[in-house]
Amino acid sequence: MRAEKKDKRRAEIEAVALEVMRERGYEGASMLNIAKAAKASNETLYRWYGDKQRLFLEIVKSNAAEAEEALDKALKAPLPPADILEQIGKLMLRLLLGERAVALNRAAACDASGQLGGALAKGGRERVFPKIVKLMGALREAGVIAPPSDEQAATWFIQLLIGDLQLRRVIGTLPEPTRGQINQHAKTTLAAFYSLCGTDQTGV
């Protein structure tokens, strides 16, 4: 009983923390401000998380777990690999350019110790990349692509898909893309990707 409620409260506080951070930056997201916004006591925050860094570390972990779940679900869908790749593309755009990931990347950029950045990479890219590589293997075996290597294909895919969009989101010069823009961009990316890696080299 109580455990569930506490989990819910924790999720609530973490959501509020991100919201505060979104509005006032990482500096402005002090434990006190977060506590006030969440209608919690700062003492509770300190007891639960220890300090600000560990609070955000916790958020990074939750976020990574959620993202991985969504990704695995998309990967396991009973569809041809090419369709899965399209879904993955859209999903990654949505996740990586969404408010949550952007806020966490901002926090990591502000954290001089580099711990947040490390956790973000560990829970994010390092977990995701192998899955993409594996998917590329499936695509290759299905004869959809013929890349120099699965790793190279995964790298190209991510670069063409995300490129510098995430950094532009992080420094605040790019608004969050709409669903329509995401679909459009995923489509364009896939066309380029297949033109780069495809077995069919007719181009255009």
Partner DNA sequence: CAGTAACTGTACACATTCATACGGCTTTAC
Partner DNA sequence: GTAAAGCCGTATGAATGTGTACAGTTACTG
Chain residues in the site for DNA (CB under 7 A): 1-2, 5-6, 9, 28, 30-33, 35, 39-44, 46-47, 51-52
Selection from DNA, its own copies, none that 194 binds (CB < 5 to 8 A by kind) is none
Q: Which is nearer to its own copies, 8 or 125 (CB)?
A: 125
Q: Is 139 in the site for its own copies (CB under 8 A)?
A: no
Q: Which is nearer to DNA, 41 or 201 (CB)?
A: 41
By CB under 8 A, name the one of 11, 28, 41, 141 that touches its own copies: 28
Report, in angstroms and rounded to the nearest whole number, the Rg of the chain calculated over CA atoms. Answer: 19
- The contact pattern for its own copies, residues 105-134, with x = CB under 8 A and - = no contact, is xx-xxxxx-x-xxx-xx---x---------
Q: Residues 146 to 185: which contact its own copies by CB under 8 A?
A: 148, 155-156, 158-160, 162-164, 166-168, 170-173
Residue whose C-alpha is closest to residue 17's, from 28, 7, 6:
28
The residues that touch its own copies, with contacts defined as CB under 8 A, are 23-28, 105-106, 108-112, 114, 116-118, 120-121, 125, 148, 155-156, 158-160, 162-164, 166-168, 170-173, 192, 195-196, 201-204
